[in-house]
Amino acid sequence: MDFQFTEEQEEIRRQVRALCARFPDEYWRERDETGEFPWDFYQAFADGGWLGITIPKEYGGSGLGITEAALVMQTVAESGGGTQACSSIHLGIFGLEPLIKYGTEEAKRKYLPKVLSGEIHVSFAVTEPDAGTNTTQIKTFATRKGDGYVINGRKVFITKARESKKMLILTRTTPYEQVQKKTMGMSLFFADIDPQAVEVRELRKCGRKAVDTNMLFIDNLYVPKEDLIGEEGKGFYYILDGINPERILVAAECVGMGKRAIEKAVQYAKERIVFDRPIGMNQGIQFPLAESYAKLETAELMVYKAAWLFDNGKPCGKEANIAKYMAAEAACEAADRAMQAHGGYGYIKDYDVERYWREARLFRIAPISQEMVLNYVGEHVLGLPKSY
Amino acid sequence: MKILVTVKRVPDPETTIRVKPDGSGIVTDNIKYVINPFDEIAIEEALRIKEKQGQGEVVLVSIGAKVASEQLRTGLAMGADRAILVLCDQELDSLGVARILAKIVEKEAPDLVLMGKQAIDDDANQAGQMLAALLNWPQATFASKVEFMDNYVQVVREVDGGLETVRFPLPGIITTDLRLNEPRYASLPGIMKARKKEIREIAVAELGIDTTPLLTVHKMDPPAKKAAGKKVESVQELVHLLHTEAKVI
Ligand SMILES: Cc1cc2nc3c(=O)[nH]c(=O)nc-3n(C[C@H](O)[C@H](O)[C@H](O)COP(=O)(O)OP(=O)(O)OC[C@H]3O[C@@H](n4cnc5c(N)ncnc54)[C@H](O)[C@@H]3O)c2cc1C
């Protein structure tokens, strides 16, 4: 067993840390206030080649694994950028896996270099208002027409659709009622977000204001058949492939954000004097922070175990799910405790912890809710009967 | 043009430094190490010279324990071509460093040696000057601008109260000041390429020189603790106190 990161992985961490240092707390505070997309941060990461970290070398990327991607995301979150920073680059870093694995050579040559350079943003459009977590119930439909398809339907919670030219969109191509297996009959497209056919309506949300999340109204969006990924009807399975890495990355982001919150709280608890002593001298302040730190460290272990399994081609569903669960809990708790340690100041935006608190909360819900993770563990790990 | 750039592994300026209770040195547990920031500027300048001239070679050299290869690897990731690590576990003074570098210069025969004006750990500000003396080469220290003319290099130096412009023919030595440039970040492809670049290790004994320090550190003391500040009610009071107590105005 070897728990040591390689020299190269350490170097990745050092360089990402240095790059993030250019974007201080004020930068993220301001983005959170105005909702302006962090363009210069995004471009700095594109210029440094970081968006191509998992893209294979033949397409100009660095061909590294989820371990390295997780290191990048944790470091970015920990720098104070939180989810505003992470979500702005997250999909570039991993979301294109279905295209890389199942896309045509032509599509890969055409799009991957542009994703890498930051020229095109991509959204991932799965969730629907009438289906929710039950993805097989999606209603968005792609009908064959001539040499392509025409898509109609609605999607909700689609992140970065405002910036994106392209989206990986899951639709039905055979109605639910006509398939033998409910996970069949869905197809994945790498479609244009054509403003003529797709209305993007931004949702106002609790945190992460700089990275938009939207409702999409799709009316007769034409997609040439070259933009179908893999085979018709198998889209759901293509998406499943990317689920574990996504959970690992999100978990890494949570650990980073939680650690940042604790770091801020520790700093504050050393400096703030009440009753003639630093508040950090009180065990009532110290213990919750110490305990949160312990939980974050433990979640981190699970993140890199899951990443290691994935990179070594081994099953990692159990570990990726548990990492996501534990990291989301640890991050929310850490942010909450950091806020408590700050007293009234914790509720004030200039102290940053309230922003982490609002942002961390997302990860108990998305990309998969904690309940559904527990459903997975209960059913697939413990072997209990399916509860729903 | 072949440029030799010196790289020293030093504690990260962001870390809090504590002096050992017995004053024999600093506590090194849990400190992060980085490239000496002035050396980083030297690497950047060397890379810019190479890029501008469209050819050349940038060779890094570090002296120290094996772990210094981390900093060399970072420099290679920024874009340097190869590196030399002179393995040396013994404490060195500036003259020892200059003697080792003189040997490396003899072997490598660079056109230019770019160095930080000082290392931020001991702030000696001597190695560059001593190396110039040992080699009998011209030197321009505290560079804030470097330009190549027909057969000489022109350097703008930051001196007390102004700027001084000097010129010398190559080969020579330039030490960098803070405002010379802003070093680049290593890109991910840069880090990947650095993996394959050479770091040649040389044991200091192989160089056959005497590096016994003439200078030894006798004792270290932490800086005096700053007294707590004072809050004043008004500008008038501030001015009054600056005049009567601080006696600065
Ligand atoms: C900011 C943000 C960004 C997002 N970005 C994207 C994106 O880019 N692309 C995309 O496709 N989606 C995105 N999502 C959607 C996200 O993945 C979903 O919100 C999430 O999967 C939950 O689906 P839902 O909101 O429809 O909840 P529902 O499915 O309606 O569930 C509601 C609640 O009921 C619980 N529940 C439901 N069924 C069960 C059960 N059987 N057992 C126990 N509990 C149950 C759930 O856990 C949840 O707590 C985003 C969401 C947010 C908030």
pLDDT on residue B248: 87
Domain membership of residue B123 (yes or no) is yes
A349-356 long-range contacts, CB within 8 A, separation 24+: A349/A29, A349/A32, A349/A33, A350/A29, A351/A264, A351/A268, A352/A25, A352/A28, A352/A29, A352/A80, A352/A264, A353/A261, A353/A264, A353/A265, A355/A28, A355/A29, A355/A32, A355/A82, A355/A207, A356/A82, A356/A257, A356/A260, A356/A261, A356/A331
Q: How close is the nearest chain B Cα to the Cα of A90, in Å?
A: 16
Q: Give the CATH architecture of domain A239-381.
A: Up-down Bundle (1.20)
Q: Is a pLDDT exceeding 90 seen at residue A1?
A: no
Classify B192 as helix, strand or coil: helix
- Contacts (Cβ under 8 Å, ≥6 apart) of A349: A29, A32, A33, A355
A53 vs B: CB within 8 A: yes
pLDDT on residue B210: 94
Domain holding B224, by residue range, is 2-244
Residue A244 Cβ contacting ligand 1 at under 6 Å? no
Q: Which CATH superfamily is domain A7-116 in?
A: Acyl-CoA dehydrogenase/oxidase, N-terminal domain (1.10.540.10)
Domain extent listing, chain A: 7-116, 122-236, 239-381
- pLDDT tens for B147-189 read 999 889 999 999 998 999 999 999 999 999 999 999 999 999 9
B24-27 long-range contacts, CB within 8 A, separation 24+: B24/B217, B24/B219, B24/B220, B25/B217, B25/B220, B26/B220
The DSSP element (H or E) to which A320 belongs, if any, is: helix A317-341
Measured in whole angstroms, the distance separating CA A50 from the mean position of its chain's CA atoms is 16
A317 vs B: CB within 8 A: no
pLDDT band at B106 (very low <50, low <70, confident <90, very high): very high
Q: Is a pLDDT exceeding 90 seen at residue A186?
A: yes
- Looking at the 3D structure of chain B, how many domains does it have? 1
> For residue A46, what is the nearest residue in chain B, using CA coordinates?
B187
Could you give the ipTM of this predicted complex? 0.84
Question: Chain B residues with CB inside 8 Å of A50's CB?
Answer: 187-188
Question: Chain A residues with CB inside 8 Å of B188's CB?
Answer: 12, 15, 48-50, 52-53, 62
pLDDT on residue B228: 79
Residue B234 is part of a domain; what is its CATH number?
3.40.50.620
The DSSP element (H or E) to which B115 belongs, if any, is: strand B112-116
Mutation to test the B interface, candidates A10, A11, A12, A271, most B Cβ within 10 Å: A11
- pLDDT tens for A159-176 read 999 999 999 999 999 999
Domain membership of residue B147 (yes or no) is yes
How much of chain B exceeds pLDDT 90, in percent? 83
Q: Is a pLDDT exceeding 80 seen at residue A308?
A: yes
Question: Chain A residues with CB inside 8 Å of B193's CB?
Answer: none
Question: Chain B residues with CB inside 8 Å of A47's CB?
Answer: 187
Atom of ligand 1 nearest to the CA of A375: 42
Mutation to test the B interface, candidates A6, A12, A15, most B Cβ within 10 Å: A15
Residue type, A288: P
Question: Chain B residues with CB inside 8 Å of A19's CB?
Answer: 185
Q: Give the CATH architecture of domain A122-236.
A: Beta Barrel (2.40)
pLDDT on residue A265: 98
Residue B32 CA to residue A14 CA, distance in Å, equals 10
pLDDT on residue B138: 98
* Contact criterion met (CB < 8 Å) for B73 and A50: no
Residue A158 Cβ contacting ligand 1 at under 6 Å? yes
Domain membership of residue B249 (yes or no) is no
- pLDDT tens for A337-347 read 999 999 999 99
**DSSP-derived secondary structure for A163-212:** T-SEEEEEEESS-GGG-SSTTSSEEEEEEE--TTTEEEEEPP-SS-TTS-
pLDDT band at B231 (very low <50, low <70, confident <90, very high): confident
Q: For residue A135, how many C-alpha atoms fall within 13 Å in the half-sphere facing its CB? A: 21
- How high is the mean pLDDT of chain B? 94
Domain membership of residue B17 (yes or no) is yes
Q: How close is the nearest chain B Cα to the Cα of A68, in Å?
A: 11
User: Which of B206, B197, B7, B195 has its CA nearest to residue B87?
Assistant: B206
Residue A6 Cβ contacting ligand 1 at under 6 Å? no
- How high is the mean pLDDT of chain A? 96
> Nearest 5 degrees, angle CA B188-CA B194-CA B198?
180
Q: Is a pLDDT exceeding 90 seen at residue A370?
A: yes
Assess whether the region A7-116 and the region A122-236 belong to the same CATH fold: no
Residue B64 CA to residue B71 CA, distance in Å, equals 11
**Comparing A142-146, A350-354, B31-35, which segment has the lowest mean pLDDT?**
B31-35
pLDDT on residue B249: 84
* Contact criterion met (CB < 8 Å) for B187 and A62: no
* Contact criterion met (CB < 8 Å) for B188 and A11: no
Which residue is associated with the tokens 């980083």?
B40
- The 8-class DSSP code of residue A280 comes to G
Q: How close is the nearest chain A Cα to the Cα of B152, in Å?
A: 35
Domain membership of residue B50 (yes or no) is yes
- The 8-class DSSP code of residue A213 comes to E
Domain membership of residue B117 (yes or no) is yes
> Six-digit token pair at A117?
């350079």
Task: Indicate the residue of B70, B185, B187 with minimum beta-carbon distance to A7.
Answer: B70
- pLDDT tens for B2-36 read 999 999 999 999 888 899 999 988 998 889 899 99
**Comparing A375-384, B76-85, B236-245, which segment has the lowest mean pLDDT?**
B236-245
Q: How close is the nearest chain B Cα to the Cα of A122, in Å?
A: 21
Q: Is a pLDDT exceeding 80 seen at residue A211?
A: yes
Q: Is a pLDDT exceeding 80 seen at residue A93?
A: no
Q: Are B176 and B42 in contact (CB under 8 A)?
A: yes
Rounded to 10 degrees, the C-alpha dihedral A162/A167/A170/A171 comes to 80
Domain membership of residue B177 (yes or no) is yes
pLDDT on residue B30: 85
Task: Indicate the residue of B69, B187, B191 with minimum beta-carbon distance to A8.
Answer: B191
Residue A247 CA to residue A239 CA, distance in Å, equals 13
